[in-house]
Amino acid sequence: MADEGDELCIQAYRISGEMLGKGLSIVIDILNPERIVIGGVFAKSSHLLLPYAQKVIDEETLIYSGRVCEVVPCGLGDKVGDYAALSVASL
């Protein structure tokens, strides 16, 4: 419904995106990754979450760390959980 303009849903995505951005900012500052790949709900709704998360990341991270890191949805879609389970089972 957020895609259709429902204000309450948009606000829920805004809050979730901002919280995600705060958490990722800490990870980016500590580990300085070049890319963070996120699956699950983020992969399906990154167009709603990422703008809010990216705004917080831009404000909160160290300048050089924030510029280098790219946050992207995983390309596996719904299959990411299946592959994760299989990789653990193969150990």
CA dist 24 and 19 (Å) reads 9
Where do the structural domains in the chain lie, given as residue ranges? 2-89
**Per-residue pLDDT tens over the stretch 68-88:** 999 998 887 667 777 778 888
- Mean pLDDT to the nearest integer, 17-34: 95
What's the one-letter identity of residue 21? Answer: G
pLDDT at 86: 86
Residue 9: Cβ-neighbour burial (10 angstroms; 0-12, 13-18, 19+): middle
CATH of 2-89, one of 3.30.420.40, 3.40.190.10, 1.20.120.1750, 3.40.1520.20: 3.30.420.40
3-state secondary structure of 1: coil
Q: Apex CA 87: angle with CA 85 and CA 91, to 5°? A: 115
pTM to 2 decimals?
A: 0.80
Percentage with pLDDT > 90 across the chain = 48
Predicted confidence (pLDDT) at residue 22 exceeds the cutoff of 90: yes
**Per-residue pLDDT tens over the stretch 35-44:** 999 887 788 8
